[in-house]
Chain A
Amino acid sequence: MNPKRRQKNDGGASSSSIGNEESPKRRLSLAKGQQRFGFLMVTPSLVFLLVVFTFPLLALIGMSGFQMQLARPDADSWIGLANYVRMLSDARFWHSIRLTVIYTISTVVLQVAIGMLLAVALSANLAGKLRNLLRIVVLLPMITAPVVVGLVWRTLLLTQRYGLLDFVFIRLGFGTQPWLSDPSLALVSVIVIHTWQWTPFAFLVFLASLASVPEELYEAAMIDRASALQRFRYITVPILRPAIVIVIIIRVMVALRAFAAIFSATGGGPGTATEILNLFAYRTAFTAFNLGYGATLGTTLLVITTVTSFVFFRLRSADQQ
C-alpha cells in the first residue's frame, strides 16, 4: 500500500503509531532528509555563535600573549606568558579576586536567604491582593536597567543628607554615612544594590517551587504536631532543594560578571574598593587601553566561570542521583 494512503486512512486517530507502522525503507529516507533539514535549521545559529562567540574567545586567549595598545597597532608584540607572570604578582589582581569572592558569596547567600524567607512568608499568607501586588512589584528591580539601578542608588538613595536611605539613617540616630566614598562601606553598598535587584529572581523561583507542594503534606505535619521550624526543616527545605541549587548556580554566574550597577554606582572605586575582577579587566582594557593585559584578566575570568560552572553541574548531577 502506498504509505500516503495508509496514513490518511488512519485518520490521525492513533497518530502516535504512525512512525512505527512505516516501512523501514521509507523511515530511512525520512531520517536522511531529517538529518539535513535539522542541520540546516541550526546552521545560522552555529555560524553566528562561531563568529561572534567562539572566535572572539579564542582571540581573547591569543591576545593575552601580546603586549598590545589600541592606539598603536604596529607596536603589537608577542610576549608569551609575560602578562600572566605580571598578573600573578599584581597586588591589584589578588585584591580583585578577593573582592570577587566576597561579592559573589555574600550576594548569593543574601538572595537565597531573603528570597526563601519571602517565598515561605507569602505561601503562608493567602491574602490574594498582597500576593498579586508583590508578584508585580518584584519584577520592577529585575527589569530595570542595571545602569539606572546603580545611578538611582548612588544619587537618590545614598547621597549624604539628601539621599532617602541616608535620611532614614540620620532619623534613626545612626548619623549620615559615607556610603560610596568609604572603601568598606562602598563594598557593602554595591552588595546591597545587587541583592536588592536580584533577590526577586530567587523569590519567584522559590515561589513557583513551593506552589507545587501539596497542602496535605503540611496538614499531616500539623496533625503530627510538628513545630513550624520542623516543618520548615523537614518539608520546605527538601522540597526547595533542587530550586536552591539551580538558583545558586545561576546567581553565582551572574554575580561573577556583574558590571553595570557597580560601574554606575562607584566605577569600581573609591580607588579599587569595589573593583571585582570583571571591572578590573574592563578598566585595564578600556580605561587604560591596555588590551593585552585586559585580555589576560578576561581569560582568567573565563577560566574561573568555566571551572565554576563545570564543578556546579557535576555537583548537581551527583545531587540528583
Chain B
Amino acid sequence: MGVLTARQKVLLARSFMLVVLLAALVVWALPVIWTLATSIKPRGDIFTVPPTLVFRPSIEHYQRALRFLGIVDGIVNSLIIAFFTVLMTLLVAVPAGYGYARTRFRFRKTLSFYTLFTQMAPQIGILIPFFLMINRAGLYDTYPSIILIHMTITVPISIWLMITYFETIPKEMEESAIVDGASRFGAFARIALPQVKGGVAVCSILAFIESWNEFLFVSTLAGRQTRTVQVAIFSFLTTEETMWGPFTATGVMIMAPVIVIALVAQKHIVKGLTFGAVKG
C-alpha cells in the first residue's frame, strides 16, 4: 500500500513474523506444560470450568500412580528393554558402519542399500508374522523378543549414522597402525572407535528414545511379565472415571527421561532426529 513507507512495511512484516513465532511457541509448549500442571494439581482442581490456573502443587497423583499395579513394573520393563536395545544396537551397528565406511567388499553397495531399505518397511508388516512366530515358539511375553523387534527400528538408522561418522574421520592413523602390525579389528577398536564417540552417543540416545517411546510392538508382544509403561498408562483411561491425575503423572514420568536427555544433549538429538534430511 502506498500509505506505508518501506520502513513501516519491514516493521509490519517483522511484527507479523514475531506473532507467528510466539504462537508456535505456545502451541508446542502448552500441551506439555499443561500435562505437567495437571499432574501436580490437587484432585479438585482438575475438572473445572474455567481451567484452574492457580493451585497448590501436590504430588498425590504421583504417589497414587506409583501405587498402581503395573506402573512401577512398567517403568522397570521399559528401562530394561531400552537399555538392552541400545546395547545390542551398538554391538551390531557400530562394526557394520565401520565395515561399510572403511572397506570395500563384494556386494557392499547392494547390502548397504538393503540396510537402508529396511527402514522403509511398515512395522505392521514385520509385526504380524513376528507375532505368530513368537507365539508358536512359546516366546510371547519375553524380553528378548521385544528387544529383537525394537532393534528393527534402531539398527538400520544406527548403521547409516555410523557410516557417516566413520567417513568423516581421516583413515591415515588406522592405516599406519595396521602397517605397524595392529590387526584390522584392533585399528577399528582402538583407533577409529575413540574418534566417533559423538556418533555412538547420537545412536545411543536415538535408540533409547525409539525403544522407550515404542508402542505398536509392545502393545502386541508384551504380556503380564514384560508390559512397558507405555501400555500400562492405558489403565487410567479404560475405567468409567478417567483418572487424569495419575494419568498425567505417569505421562510426565514417561516424558521426563527423554526431556532431560534433550536438554543435556540438544545438538545430538537434533542431529539424530533430522538425520538423513540435513547434511553434516
Using a CB–CB cutoff of 8 Å, the interface residues on chain A facing chain B are 3-4, 7, 12, 15-16, 18-19, 30-31, 33-42, 44-46, 48-49, 52-53, 56-57, 59-60, 63, 68, 70, 73, 117-118, 120-122, 124-125, 127, 130, 133-149, 151-157, 161-162, 164, 167, 196, 200-201, 204-205, 208-209, 228, 243, 246-247, 250, 253, 256-257, 259-260, 263-264, 278, 281-282, 285-286, 291, 294-295, 298-299, 301-302, 305-306, 309
Contacts and interface: CB of A to CB of B under 8 A. Distances in A.
A42 B95 contact: yes
Contacts of A295: 128-129
B17 A125 contact: yes
B88 to A, nearest CB: 9
B108 interface: yes
A193 to B, nearest CB: 10
Given A140-B28, A143-B258, A305-B121, 20 more contacts: A37-B99, A38-B100, A40-B99, A60-B128, A122-B21, A125-B14, A135-B270, A143-B255, A144-B255, A148-B251, A167-B50, A228-B13, A250-B276, A263-B216, A278-B124, A282-B124, A285-B131, A291-B128, A298-B122, A301-B124
Nearest to A253: B120
A34 B184 contact: yes
A286 B22 CA distance: 43
A136 B124 CA distance: 32
A204 B28 CA distance: 14
8 closest A-B pairs by CB: A38-B103, A41-B99, A59-B129, A145-B213, A45-B96, A15-B172, A121-B17, A260-B215
Contacts of A52: 126, 130, 148-149, 151-152
A12 B124 contact: no
B233 A63 contact: no
16 contacts: A18-B176, A37-B185, A42-B99, A45-B93, A53-B118, A57-B125, A60-B128, A136-B266, A140-B28, A141-B31, A145-B254, A156-B248, A204-B270, A205-B274, A299-B125, A306-B121
B220 to A, nearest CB: 5
A301 B277 CA distance: 24
B13 A164 contact: no
Interface of B: 13-14, 17-18, 20-22, 24-25, 27-32, 34-35, 38, 47-51, 91-93, 95-96, 98-100, 102-106, 108, 111, 114-115, 118, 120-133, 135-136, 148-149, 151-152, 155-156, 159, 170, 172, 175-176, 178-181, 184-185, 188, 209, 212-216, 219-220, 230, 233-234, 237, 242, 244, 247-248, 251, 254-255, 258-259, 261-263, 266, 269-270, 273-274, 276-278
B108 to A, nearest CB: 7
A246 B95 contact: no
A139 B266 contact: yes
B70 to A, nearest CB: 15
Contacts, number: 306
Contacts of A136: 262-263, 266
A141 B244 CA distance: 20
Given A37-B103, A136-B266, A246-B277, A164 B30 contact: yes
Given A53-B121, A133-B25, A157 B31 contact: yes
Contacts of A140: 28-29, 32, 259, 262
Contact of A53 (B95, B98, B132, B152): B152
A304 to B, nearest CB: 8
